[in-house]
Amino acid sequence: MNHLGVKPLALTMGDACGIGPEIVAKLFRDAAHEAEGAFVLGDLGVMRRAAALTGGLLPVAAIERPSDALACPRGCVPVLQVSGLPADLLAAPLGRVDARAGAAAAACIRAAAAYALAGEVAAIVTAPIHKEALAAAGVGFPGHTEMLQALSGAPAVRMMLANDELKTVLVTIHVALRRAIELVTFDAVLETLRIVQHAAASWGQRAPRIAVAGLNPHAGEGGLFGDEEIAIIAPAIAAARAEGIDASGPFAPDTVFMRARNAPGHAGEFDLVVAMTHDHGLIPVKYLGVEHGVNVTLGLPFVRTSPDHGTAFDIAGRGTADASSLRAAMRMARRLARVNGSSLSPRPA
């Protein structure tokens, strides 16, 4: 940290066999102003390969500590080599699931969390990882959200996917749909509403209007299509309202997102939507354009954002991946870190 109290922003390189390193390289090349003050937790060799794949002529420099990134010039990729990476990581084939890439991705996440918990970085932005690669490496977490919760000791976290038009928070995430339905409980819904309320306050929105989507078609149609809305979701909403949370519903999940969407000529009725399952909540946001979406983990003791797309193995190594969602994740991280009291704004262009 420099004398002005500015902290760097940490990016993890993601799965070395996917597009993560490439979009990180594109960020530093094509949006150098946005990348200023940031550094990459990863592997020097992987990042130098990514720089070559995306056009070359992009210097990749080793740094020893996060604060070194603040002295790096624009257009240079500062890389803090994470300890314990597989020595033959570059031999892992692009575009394929590989345990070496899974192990490396997990090591980068652990390092990012450690620096964030130590207060050495203002926020972390994570490039995409592959869940099968994590499993192949013996990592006991299905994704970033669960791993970061365990590493941080946070009692409960939730996934939010957001763009300029819609914000959705999920009650359940990376579990089989059959299991997700079992996990929709009174406590889980109420806890989600509390997390949303607290998180919104942290970014300056003290009384967000929260719409709660039902689980069943037509929100159960009065019990005809399932009683979870009557027995679980509505009572949780009532309990949240008794605590002063502006939650309403449950609403039919096939229409509530249209009502909440804040678009030109259409002021949204709600600020956020809480959805019961992964696909209920994420499909509407992703349909609006993955290049604009940002994944934010709510409930962590630090700011974490991520692009809303995956590793895109089908185009890995071509140098054609779009870095727009990563850029959006960077901007979101800076905004959230700023309102949470950390300064990491780049110098004026």
Same domain, 131 and 218: no
> CA separation (Å) from 3 to 19, 63, 67, 80?
36, 19, 11, 21
Mean pLDDT on 207-227? 93
Is residue 294 assigned to a domain? no
Bond prior to 8 in cis (omega within 30° of 0): no
Confidence of residue 293 (pLDDT cuts 50, 70, 90): confident
Is residue 295 assigned to a domain? no
Same domain, 267 and 332: no
Q: Which domain holds residue 210?
A: 164-288
Interval 246-276: pLDDT, tens: 999 999 999 999 999 998 888 899 999 999 9
CATH of the domain at 112: 3.40.718.10
**If we measure between CA atoms, which residue out of 312, 268, 266, 261 comes closest to residue 287?**
261
Same domain, 274 and 224: yes
Is residue 31 assigned to a domain? yes
Same domain, 143 and 73: yes
Same domain, 148 and 169: no
Interval 32-73: pLDDT, tens: 899 999 999 999 999 999 999 998 889 999 999 999 999 999
What span, in angstroms and rounded, lies between the C-alpha atoms of 65 and 42? 13
Judged by average pLDDT, the poorest of 94-103, 274-283, 287-296, 337-346 is 337-346
Strands 38-42, 9-12: pairing kind: parallel
Is residue 326 assigned to a domain? yes
**Helices 44-53 & 20-30, crossing angle to 10 degrees?**
70
Same domain, 194 and 129: no
Interval 158-171: pLDDT, tens: 999 998 899 999 99
Same domain, 37 and 146: yes
**If we measure between CA atoms, which residue out of 71, 63, 55 comes closest to residue 22?**
55
pLDDT over threshold 90, residue 201: no
Total tally of structural domains belonging to the chain? 2
**If we measure between CA atoms, which residue out of 16, 47, 101, 308 comes closest to residue 38?**
47
Count of residues in the chain: 349
Supply the pTM of this predicted model: 0.87
